[in-house]
Amino acid sequence: MTAPRTLFDKLWDAHRIATLGEDSDLILIDRILLHERTGGIALKSLEEQGRRVNDPAQVFVTMDHVVDTLPGRTDATIMPTGTQFITATRDAARRAGLTLFDLGDPGQGIVHVISPEQGIILPGLTLVCPDSHTCSQGALGGLAWGIGSSEAEHALATSTLRMQKPRQMRIMVTGILPPGTTAKDLALHILRRIGSSGAHGHMVEYAGPAIAALEIEARLTLCNMATELSAFSAIIAPDDKTAAYLAGRRLAPKGEDRAHALAYWRTLATDTDATFDREEVVDATQVRPMVSWGTSPQQAVPLGEVVPAFDPDQRLSTEDAHQRALAYMGLPPGQRLGDLPIDAAFIGSCTNSRLSDLRRAAAILRGRHVAQGVRAICVPGSTAVKAAAEAEGLDRIFLDAGFEWREAGCSMCFFAGGESFGPEERVVTSTNRNFESRQGPRTRSHLASPETVAASAVTGRITAPADLEAGI
């Protein structure tokens, strides 16, 4: 009889080629994703060392990070040297015979949006990408994690990585999210509770009734923010929703393969008696619409609350970090976040740019208009999401409401030297990072769900969707 194992144990064991030493294993990598920001340099460096990609068919390349998202875009970028990243990555990908989702390709988009969309990530696979938000894809039940460019070179050259097995942590989410709250609010709720290094180095398995109730796109949002907990990655056991989501996707198994795959996926869930190094229990019924107030994603509160003063009894932050965040954000403790006027609203990024995100935001914007003086931007996560949204008329709702409607990409989730929000501008954003100057020089970012971004755009101040509906 074998010892009870976690989902992660099972995937690790199935991919362990060899033990390399007392604390290191050689792990098989099934899929490698690259983008022009950190993937191009990996391909270039590999070539310079005279090495070849071991299995080109397992590698997928997309353009998302520095490409423009304005309509009619070309290789030219607002970012001064962006074209170099695009062309270097494209040329290297072609020379190596890799699958490329280039500008103009219907498969192009943000790497963590297109991978589930096309069935590149599957339950039971290992997948790596030189991008910290690769943890998003654990939502499908695959072992997916972010690496550096040098590790990407190793994966490309050998189809493996030399790994130390991380410790494991289960976050059990009991109950059901209240109506009007989302996976984004849950992610910020967890960050507030356990902090930005709350899952430090651990593989996180999200489990429990609230997770089972989440649709796949919501699970992607939740797992996306695991890197903000400093986790190794996150994963959710595949279930019927996963199987249904993947049915018919371009690279997902079909026919007889699918029957075998479904049977295999059913064996992957964590065994009843398996143990974790750490366990956290989160009550989903306590989650409220959240917004961040500081410069770390853990600095978030429910929308009705005020900006907190430093609490010496908590252990998640130093006083210095708290005061620095308040000064940067231009906020006094006690300020009601719900009253804060905003300059801009942004819907997009690998966290919240999928069709369901755009539908929920559009439901709030229908028949309404963005407040005067607020710049509002919507960037679909992939060319396919954009096409699907347009097919059901969502683009008209965003445009009629006064939003810009963009081409797919990472866009203004971060400031790469091209487009940005302005100094001290306050932005409500559906992205994942509120770091200093992340979205522009000295820009002040408030993380929230797409619904809260949409409602805030309409009133011109940070607003809970329910308050907008109630006319408060």
292 to 321, contacts with other proteins by CB under 8 A? 296, 317-318, 320-321
- If one asks whether residue 383 binds other proteins (CB under 8 A), the answer comes out as no
- Position among 278, 424, 437, 460 found at the interface with other proteins (CB under 8 A): 437
Nearer to other proteins, 127 or 457 (CB): 127
Q: Report whether 353 contacts 110 (CB < 8 A).
A: yes
Q: Which of residues 395-434 bind other proteins (CB under 8 A)?
A: 414-417, 423, 433
The DSSP element (H or E) to which 83 belongs, if any, is: helix 82-96
Among 127, 146, 138, CA closest to 58: 127
Distance between the two ends of the chain, CA-based, in angstroms?
Answer: 61
The interface mask with other proteins, positions 220-239, x = CB under 8 A, is -------xx-xxx-------
Q: In this structure, are strands 203-207 and 233-235 parallel, antiparallel, or unpaired?
A: parallel
Residue 158 in contact with other proteins, rule: CB under 8 A: yes
Closest distance of CB 276 from other proteins, Å = 17
| Stretch 239-268 residues interacting with other proteins (CB under 8 A) | 250-253, 257-258, 260-261, 264
Restricting to residues 102-131, which ones interact with other proteins according to CB under 8 A?
122, 124-125, 130-131
Q: Which is nearer to other proteins, 135 or 401 (CB)?
A: 135
- Told to check if 166 binds other proteins by CB under 8 A, we report yes
Per CB under 8 A, 157 contacts other proteins: yes
Per CB under 8 A, the segment of 151-159, 266-274, 358-366, 370-378 that binds other proteins is 151-159
Angle in degrees, 0-180, between the axes of helices 216-224 and 183-194, rounded to the nearest 10: 30
Closest distance to other proteins from the beta carbon of 304 (Å):
26
Name the segment binding other proteins (CB under 8 A); options: 160-168, 276-284, 340-348, 453-461: 160-168
What H or E segment, with its residue span, contains residue 223?
helix 216-224
427 φ, ψ to 5°?
-120, 130
Min dist. Cβ of residue 126 to other proteins (A): 9
- Residue 358's contacts (CB-CB under 8 Å, 6 or more residues apart) are 347, 378, 380, 385, 389, 394, 398, 450
In the list 7, 11, 67, 85, the residue contacting other proteins (rule: CB under 8 A) is 85
DSSP conformational letter for 52: -
CB 233 within 8 A of CB 143: yes
Distance of CA 3 to the CA centre of its chain: 33
* Edge-first strand listing for the sheet containing 233-235: 233-235, 203-207, 168-174, 278-283
Listed in sequence order, the DSSP H helices in 366-431 are 383-391, 394-400
CA angle 209, 119, 396 (to 5 degrees): 85
| Cα 58 to Cα 5: distance, rounded to the nearest angstrom | 28
Q: Which helix (H) or strand (E) holds 174?
A: strand 168-174
Taking CB under 8 A as the binding criterion, the range among 18-26, 217-225, 347-355, 389-397 that sits at the site for other proteins is: 18-26
Place of tokens 């005020």: 306
Report 53-72 residues binding other proteins (CB under 8 A). 56-58
**Shortest spacing between CB 398 and other proteins, in angstroms:** 26
Residue 132 makes contact with other proteins by CB under 8 A: yes
23 lies in the binding site for other proteins (CB under 8 A)? yes
Give the interface size with other proteins as a residue count (CB under 8 A). 88
Q: What angle do CA 24, 26, 27 make, to 5 degrees?
A: 115
Q: How far apart are CA 353 and CA 380, in angstroms?
A: 5
Q: How far is the CB of 363 from other proteins (least distance, A)?
A: 32
Candidates 162, 241, 359, 360; binder of other proteins (CB under 8 A) is 162
Out of 95, 104, 150, 275, point to the residue binding other proteins (CB under 8 A): 150
Query: Which CB, 255 or 367, lies closer to other proteins?
Result: 255
Q: Candidates 28, 70, 78, 269: give the one binding other proteins (CB under 8 A).
A: 28
| Range 180-209, binding other proteins (CB under 8 A) | 196-197, 200-201
As a dihedral over the C-alpha atoms of residue 242, residue 122, residue 127, residue 84, rounded to 10 degrees, the angle is -90
